[in-house]
Amino acid sequence: MGQVNEERRGVYPFCASCTASSVAWRVTDTSGPASGHFYGHRDTCPDCGSSIRTLYHTVLWVPVSKLGEYRVISTGGRSYIGRKLLAHPVQSVVRGEPMSAIAEHPELEAASEYRTAEAYWEDSEPGEALPFYQAALVEREKVLRADDPATLRVRLRVAQGLLATANYGRAIAWFELVTPELIDVFGPHHDLTHAATEAVTGARLMVGGPRAEAQLLANVVAADEQSVGPADPQVLRDRAALGKALLACGEISEALYALSRVVRDAPRGHPDTAVYRAALLEACEVAEARGKRREMLLAETARQVLSDESTPTNT
């Protein structure tokens, strides 16, 4: 799932033309009187069966504002897969390769773990490559920043390896963390960024929707807490993904709580902390837009966490 279909050259299950005119999109919970609902049904694709539907923000099921147009494929009942339509074709932007400090550490490129991982990857054996990429990543993060281009490439490989070995919860957690950093360092239209956004869509497709994703990630976090400490990078990464999944489900209070914990425990001066803080800020904005008193009070508390001088930042 999420890989290029060799016959249609699109992203499963969308055909090539529908893939080219849209971008990966996270499905959110559209149940409830104040949420988002699809209306309309047009331009059904003869190749993949997707159709264009318009998403509206609703209050008491009455459309209030248009949120965008999407290519949607129904997967039975109320389940569906969607991709957001591009208003305009993405312009090709020539962007120089970002500078990396890897040149100062040639031993990292020559390390046996990294070379073995690359060999397995070239042989289309991501599962075999995964443990070697994980070992290589540990060594890189000892001397390079987490958002150094050379580190990000290995981080992406770890996420892809987890996806290839059906470890969907931890794969989603990695993609949630790495994708914003890829956008910041390489740009939104770089091949690496595109690979990450499409891969996490494939992972979610395999999981079965935001509520199933939230339950899976809750189980992953519970397992984490049994094996490593609360401030371990793996726990933070997985708990942050759980918070994002809860937000997609419309469980705003739980999302605020989960993401606030992550931000409090995040490492100081680390690029990942910026991603966690942005996720909590997004949850605050969603809560404030919904206007429910309890959620707004929790959002106010969360904003105090973000502004507190004792709360870790990425600087």
Residue pLDDT tens, the chain, 315 long: 334 333 445 677 888 888 878 877 776 554 444 457 788 888 899 888 889 988 887 766 666 777 888 888 887 666 677 888 876 655 545 567 799 999 999 999 999 999 999 999 999 999 999 999 999 999 999 999 999 999 999 999 999 999 999 999 999 999 999 999 999 999 888 889 989 988 888 888 788 778 889 999 999 999 998 888 777 999 999 999 999 999 988 899 999 999 999 999 999 999 999 999 999 999 999 888 888 899 999 999 999 999 999 999 988
Residues forming CATH 1.25.40.10 domain(s) in the chain: 101-207, 210-307
d(CA 297, CA 306) in angstroms, rounded, equals 14
What DSSP letter does each residue of the chain carry, written as one string? Answer: --SBPTTT-SBTTS-HHHHHTEEE-------SSEEEEEEEEE---TTT--EEEEEEEEETTEEEEEEEEEEEEEEETTEEEEEEEPSSPPPP---PPPP-GGGG-HHHHH-HHHHHHHHHHHTT-HHHHHHHHHHHHHHHHHHS-TTSHHHHHHHHHHHHHHHHTT-HHHHHHHHHHHHHHHHHHH-TTSHHHHHHHHHHHHHHHHHTSHHHHHHHHHHHHHHHHHHS-TTSHHHHHHHHHHHHHHHHHT-HHHHHHHHHHHHHHSPTT-HHHHHHHHHHHHHHHHHHHHT-HHHHHHHHHHHHHHH-TTS----
Q: Does domain 210-307 have CATH number 3.30.70.20?
A: no
User: For the domain 101-207, what is the CATH code?
Assistant: 1.25.40.10
